[in-house]
Structure 1
Amino acid sequence: MLERKVLLVSSLPEYEEEIGRLLWCLEDVRRTIITRLIGISQSLIDRKLGERQSIGTLLYHIALIEADWLYAEVLETDWDPEISALFPLEHRTDGNLSHFEGESIEEHFYRLNKVREVFLSHFRSMDLSDWRKPRVLE
């Protein structure tokens, strides 16, 4: 018999419960990504897999999209310059994700963690009314 793991979703402390539960899920996925990538070689981080993106490109993209969602859609404001400086490359080139290479896994983790730190800080003070507010995008 295959042993099944149980996933128990809790709310992150210091957040409205509904918000904290969804943020806990984001944190759980992030823990899984980081745990699986600890110790990965630089050649694996940078290597494109056929027509697919490299791990480094995907890590860059994950952090960028999380920051963009926070600033463009949730806060509806300009990016913090400190966060913007973490993204020297354009998001896409010729319709594809821009290839990103040459950074260590620790540098990728720093970017992911810095964006998440700012991300979580903004939700800590958010109430349910603002959380549930529909946002109209262009």
Structure 2
Amino acid sequence: MDMEKIYLVSDLPGYTPQIGRLLSMMNYARHTTLEAVKGLTMNDLDYLLDANSNSIGGLLLHIAAIEFAYQVGTFEKRELTEEELSIWGPALHLGEQGRLHIKGHDLSYYITRMNEVRTRTYELFQTVDDDWLTPEVQFWYNKQANYYFMWFHVFEDEINHRGQIRIIRKRIES
């Protein structure tokens, strides 16, 4: 992530123009997420506002899980396998399963998982061009969507959860 260009939605070397711009938006979203969790302890990452909430650690792993699921769905054109669901399922669905299984990790664990998934995203996006973004496929609620929208949703979901993370962090610090 080039911090000198973090506020530019622009072309990125090695990618076609629209893909580079999409990645530059994803990079900014990730930068702000990482800033929101800087310095958090394991206890902070495991903190629950109440019995039905998600932890910051759970939300961070959810961000990685969503990106992984969209890699599989858009590049491999398949659903997650049972093995993949055993790894990512609690993070995808959060709630009770997330609270039960996602805890006891330090911040570097979550950042490493997010970085591993993002590295694969970079690699996968080098294999396609701008035309790949536009074909329409069946998506939510029997509506058409294209891969451009789906990947917009990946970072839009991250931005949403970053907001939750900021609220939780304020509650921890008060």
Whether the TM-score (by the shorter chain) exceeds 0.5 is: yes
Q: Distance in 2 between matches of 1:37 and 1:79?
A: 28
**Does the C-alpha gap of structure 1 residues 90 and 104 become closer, same or farther in structure 2, counting only changes over 3 Å?**
closer
Cα gap change, 1:75 to 1:133, in 2 (>3 Å): farther
Q: Judging changes above 3 Å, is the alpha-carbon distance between structure 1 residues 90 and 33 closer, same or farther for their aligned structure 2 residues?
A: closer
Q: Distance in 1 between matches of 2:91 and 2:115?
A: 20
What is the correspondence of 1:39-50 to structure 2 with a 5 Å cutoff? 39-50=39-50
Alpha-carbon distance in 2 for matches of 1:117, 1:43:
28
User: What amino acid does structure 2 have at the position aligned with 1:116?
Assistant: R
* TM-score of the aligned structures, taking structure 2 as reference length: 0.64
Q: Which residue identity does 1:98 align to in structure 2?
A: G
Alpha-carbon deviations, 1:54-79, whole Å to 9, x = none?
A: 10010111100110011123431466
Partner of 2:111: 109
Instruction: Give the Å deviation of 1:101.
Output: 0.7
Q: How many residues align structurally?
A: 132
Q: What percentage of residue pairs aligned between the two structures are identical? A: 26
Match of 1:69 in 2: 70
Deviation at 1:125, TM superposition (A): 1.9
Structure 1, gaps ≥5 residues long? 1-6
Q: Normalization by structure 1: what TM-score?
A: 0.78
Residue number in structure 2 paired with 1:56:
57
1:25 aligns with 2:25: yes
Q: Which residue of 2 aligns with 1:3?
A: none
How far apart, CA to CA, are the structure 1 residues paired with 2:77 and 2:8? 33
Secondary structure of 1:30's aligned partner = helix
| Deviations, residues 33-89 of structure 1 (Å, cap 9, x unaligned) | 112322211111001122421100101111001100111234314669xx8786374
1:118 counterpart residue number: 120
1:136 correspondence with 2:162: no
Asked whether the 8 Å contact 1:89–1:98 carries over to 2, the reply is yes
Write the letter of the residue equivalent to 2:65.
Answer: L
Structure 2 stretches lacking a partner, 5+ long? 1-6, 143-174
Backbone CA RMSD of aligned residues: 2.9
3-state SS, counterpart of residue 135 of structure 1: strand
